[in-house]
Each structure stands twice: as structure tokens, then as C-alpha cells.
Amino acid sequence: MTFHVVADVHGAHEALARVAPEGSTVLVLGDLVNLVDYRTNEGIVPDVVGVEMVKELVALRAAGLFDKASELWTQLMAQRGGEIRAAISARMQAEYADVARALARYKAYVTFGNVDQISMLKDSLPSTATFIDTGVVEIDGHTVGFAGGGVPLIGSQGEVSEEEMAKKLATLGPVDILCTHVPPAVDVLSYDVVGGRPKASQPILDYIKEYRPAMHFFGDVHQPTALTWRVGTTVCRNVGYFRATGRSVTYP
């Protein structure tokens, strides 16, 4: 039986509700809400702080001036932090509710990405969905291991340190299929050609080399150099930026 894998939903609940027949098994690999769509400057953050502020932040990041972007955001939060946090939280809650209604059509397994608020995500899920931070489940005769979280970049709740990721993976043991939000530390899989910097996990690469799962599914990098790469006998597959594609990867 086929199951469907998506990542980086980023609020695209209407497409998610159409991605597979009702009752299908769907794996969701993190980043369910849309803070900022850098292609269009749409999202929760521009709704709250304004499109012009987001454009300035995006321009600084695109120029590689990440420290200046961080400084600008810190200044804004110093002025309006309480108001901004409350407004972002309310919009995230509403977006999780929309995504949850879409997931109610499926038997879903969900882990988290770097932009996710973990408790909010867990509390929003329908009864048909199972949240997995770290763990192994059997799906259609395959052992599937999950290790959620993104790499540390901006200090968001969904970020996981290298040490923590290594500990999470160590609890899995060998699996047929590994599912994470972040890619392994392989240049062509981890470098975002638009975002301009890599998002990569050395512990995930180490796990793949040691246990050699048949497949590794992940997301996080929206515009990678390559979607698929082989590490030894493991096929590593970026399942795509779902908000942009509206498509899943099916397995087998």
C-alpha cells in the first residue's frame, strides 16, 4: 500500500486536503504554519509587522547580512514585542486549526520543523493524526523512524541542537525509512540556492552511514541543488516545498 510524504506545508491547508484520497496514510515532516513566504512576502509575520518590514528583513538575509537582520528584528521586538508575540500566536493557532481540518481526512503521522510551536501543533491535531517527536512506527510493513526539529539558526522553539538530534537518533536503532525535517550534511541536499545558506545535520548523516535505511525523507530546504541523492545504499529524498508544489512524494 502506498503512503504519502509531505514537508513544509506552511499553511497550505487547501492543497493538503486534496493531496491524497480520504483515508490515506500521510506523513507530515514539519513546518505546518507559514510565518513568511519569501517568494511573495505573504504570511503571519508580514500580516503582523507589515510587508515593508519583512521586505527589509528579506533583503538583508538575501545579502548575507544575517546579523543586521537579527538586529533589526531585535529592535522591533524591543518596541512592540508583547503585541507582536500575541498576534503571531493567535494567527499560528488559527493556521494550525486549518491544517488540522485537512489532516482529519487521513491517517497522519506528524513531526515538527523549525518554525513550529510544538505544544500548539500537538494540541491542534485531529484524532486521526499521531504526533511523533522521536520514535518508530510500523506503516504498511515498513519500520519508519521519526526525529523532528530543525537546525539552530534563529532560536525558534522547533530548533534542535546537534547534540540533541544525535540523542534522538540514537534511540531509533535501525529502521527501513528515516523521516526528519532537516536534511543530512550533504552539500547538494542542504544548500538553499535562494536562501543562500545550508541547513544540514551531521548527526543525521552519521545515522544514515551507520544504519543504512533504504530511504530518508526530509524537507526544510525549499530550493535545494538536488532533490535526491544517494548516501551509500540510502536514497535521500527532499519531498519538496509543499506550499509551492501542492504535491506529495509517494512510497513505494
Find the range with the poorest average confidence among 58-67, 213-222, 230-239: 58-67
Predicted local distance difference test score (pLDDT) of residue 136: 98
Q: pLDDT tens digits for 69-84? A: 889 999 999 999 999 9
Q: Are 224 and 203 in contact (CB under 8 A)?
A: no
Q: In what order do the strands lie in the sheet with 234-238?
A: 134-139, 142-147, 177-180, 215-218, 234-238, 228-231
What percent of the chain has pLDDT above 90? 89
pTM: 0.95
Position 153 pLDDT exceeds 90? no
Burial of 22 (0-12, 13-18, 19+ CB in 10 A): exposed
- Strand ranges, E, within 102-162: 107-111, 129-131, 134-139, 142-147
Query: Domain count of the chain?
Result: 1
Element (H, E) at 76: helix 66-103
Position 208 pLDDT exceeds 80? yes
Coil, strand, or helix at residue 64? coil
- List C-alpha distances in Å: 197 to 29, 72, 116, 221, 231: 21, 20, 20, 10, 21
Predicted local distance difference test score (pLDDT) of residue 100: 98
Angstrom distance (rounded) from CA 219 to CA 183? 7
Q: How crowded is the C-beta side of 22, counted as CA atoms within 13 Å?
A: 3
Domain region containing 104: 3-251
Tell me the CATH number at 73: 3.60.21.10
Predicted local distance difference test score (pLDDT) of residue 73: 92
Predicted local distance difference test score (pLDDT) of residue 101: 98
Q: Are 61 and 196 in contact (CB under 8 A)?
A: yes
- List C-alpha distances in Å: 167 to 22, 148, 160, 172, 229: 36, 12, 11, 9, 25
Q: Which of 2, 6, 7, 24 is nearest to 158 (CA)?
A: 7
Position 22 pLDDT exceeds 90? yes
Q: Which amino acid is at 197?
A: R
Predicted local distance difference test score (pLDDT) of residue 176: 98
Q: pLDDT tens digits for 109-147? A: 999 999 999 999 999 999 999 999 999 999 999 999 999
- List C-alpha distances in Å: 33 to 100, 105, 111, 215, 232: 11, 18, 13, 26, 34
Element (H, E) at 88: helix 66-103
Angstrom distance (rounded) from CA 121 to CA 108? 13
Q: Are 159 and 126 in contact (CB under 8 A)?
A: no
Please compute the mean of the pLDDT values over residues 18-34 and round it to a whole number. 98
- Percent helix, strand and coil across the chain, each to the nearest 5: 40, 25, 40
pLDDT band with cut points at 50, 70 and 90 for residue 154 = confident
User: Cis peptide before 46, with omega less than 30 degrees from 0?
Assistant: no
End-to-end CA distance of the chain: 8
pLDDT band with cut points at 50, 70 and 90 for residue 197 = confident
